[in-house]
Amino acid sequence: MKKLFALLLAMAMCFALLTGCGSSKETADDVNAEPAATEDAQEETPAEGEDAQEETPAEGEDAQEETPAEGGLTVADGVLTMGTNAAFPPYEFYDGDTIVGIDAEIAAAIAEKLGLELQIVDMDFGSIITAVQTGKIDIGMAGMTVTEERLQNVNFSTSYATGIQVVIVTEDSEIASVDDIAAKVDAGEDLLIGCQEATTGAIYATGDFGDDHVITYPNGATAVQALQKGKVDCVIIDNQPALNFVAANDGLVILDTEYVTEDYAIAISKDNEELLNQINAALDELIADGTVQEILDKYIVAE
């Protein structure tokens, strides 16, 4: 039994190593081989992405020998593939069956600067980073916040926008400020905070108030629904989607005091320094010439 377990563990680790590190290069081949698939990349589901992932370890070694280590800038020639979770208005959301929003437009501007064609792939928020690390996509753009821990696993570009985490409560709530949350938690009250899984809101809330007070949901809409149904007392979420949620649902308000302020950046694989540099260069130009601000202003209407 012990030996069997050790063997399984070893196998799992080997598999992890192969998929984790080998793949960013050889998938270049993979994707090139089937350019048709990327055509409708916008509709591609995460499930499909995983299929492809399973193929990589087997093909990995061949591909590595054939192509030079730094094969190219992007996984597919002439195409910049961006992964996002299109349920985060106004950064990314569906307009009909196209994904639009701040991130989509900034990515399009960057692609134009680099002379690349942009493809957007919608996937679970949690899967974006894995997809970047394993070379399924070139960049992850989904209102992602830079943290120390994350920087060890992925590269981040220059920040292109500022995110504010705010608190949504029901109109009749006793919570009037962020301090009230802390006070209630300190007083040992049974206060529950709803967040979106894997977001910095969830991370900071867990850090500040403790794991027992934080309930995370697959997306922001579910967290807001939990608030409406009385399952949690407040929701900590990004300011922009919060505005949309409050506008769409009666009886909800956003507290005046901000919870935290943070910088959004583009996630890029650690194996692709070249792409990081180019994107930073493009982004710097776009910020300097006011394009980024224009896009932000277009989507974020001043109150």
Partner 1 sequence: MEKLIEVLKLGIYQTFILKDNYQYFVRGVGITLQVTLFSLIFGLILGVLVAIIRSAHDQQPENRRNPVLGFFNVLAKIYLTVIRGTPTMVQLLIMWFVIWAGTRSSEANLIRCAVLTFGINSGAYVAEIVRSGIMSIDKGQMEAGRSVGLSYAQAMRFVVIPQAFKNVLPALGNEMITLLKETSIVTVIGLKDLTKGAMIIQGNTYQALVPFFAIAIIYLVMVLLLTWVMGKVERRLRESDLR
Residues engaged in binding partner 1 (CB under 8 A): 5, 8-9, 12-13, 15-17, 19-21, 126, 129-130, 133, 147, 149-150, 152-154, 190, 192, 194, 197-199, 202-203, 206, 211-212, 215-218, 222, 225-226, 229-232, 267
The region, left, alpha or beta by phi > 0 then psi within -120 to 50, assigned to residue 120 is beta
CB of 186 to partner 1, least distance (A): 19
> For residues 38-52, b (16+ Cβ closer than 10 Å) or e, as one string?
beebeebebeebeeb
Q: Which is nearer to partner 1, 4 or 301 (CB)?
A: 4
Q: For residues 72 and 218, which CB has a smaller minimum distance to partner 1 in the complex?
A: 218
* Tokens standing for residue 83: 């992964």
CB of 78 to partner 1, least distance (A): 28
216 or 280, CB closer to partner 1? 216
| Cα 289 from Cα 145, distance rounded (Å) | 24
Distances (CA, A) of 151 to 91, 145, 207, 269, 279: 22, 10, 18, 10, 17
Residue with tokens 């919608």: 122
Closest approach, Cβ 65 to partner 1, in A, equals: 16
- The nearest distance, CB 260 to partner 1, in angstroms, is 15
DSSP class of 181: H
Closer by beta carbon to partner 1, 75 or else 232: 232
Tell me the closest approach of the beta carbon of residue 121 to partner 1, in angstroms.
Answer: 16
User: Which of 45/147 has CB closer to partner 1?
Assistant: 147
Nearer to partner 1, 82 or 202 (CB): 202
Asked if 236 contacts 167 with a C-beta cutoff of 8 angstroms, the reply is yes
198/283 with CB nearer partner 1 = 198
- How many Cα neighbours within 13 Å face the side chain of 94? 9
Nearer to partner 1, 111 or 192 (CB): 192
| 149 CB burial (10 A radius; 0-12, 13-18, 19+) | exposed
Least distance from partner 1 to the Cβ atom of residue 192, Å: 5
Shortest gap between Cβ of 240 and partner 1 (angstroms)? 19
Nearest to 248 by CA among 221, 278, 267, 266: 221
Element (DSSP H or E) covering residue 194? strand 193-196
Minimum CB separation from partner 1 for residue 242, in Å?
18
Q: Where are the alpha helices (DSSP H) in 67-199?
A: 102-114, 125-133, 148-151, 178-186
| CA–CA gap between residue 266 and residue 280 (Å, rounded) | 9
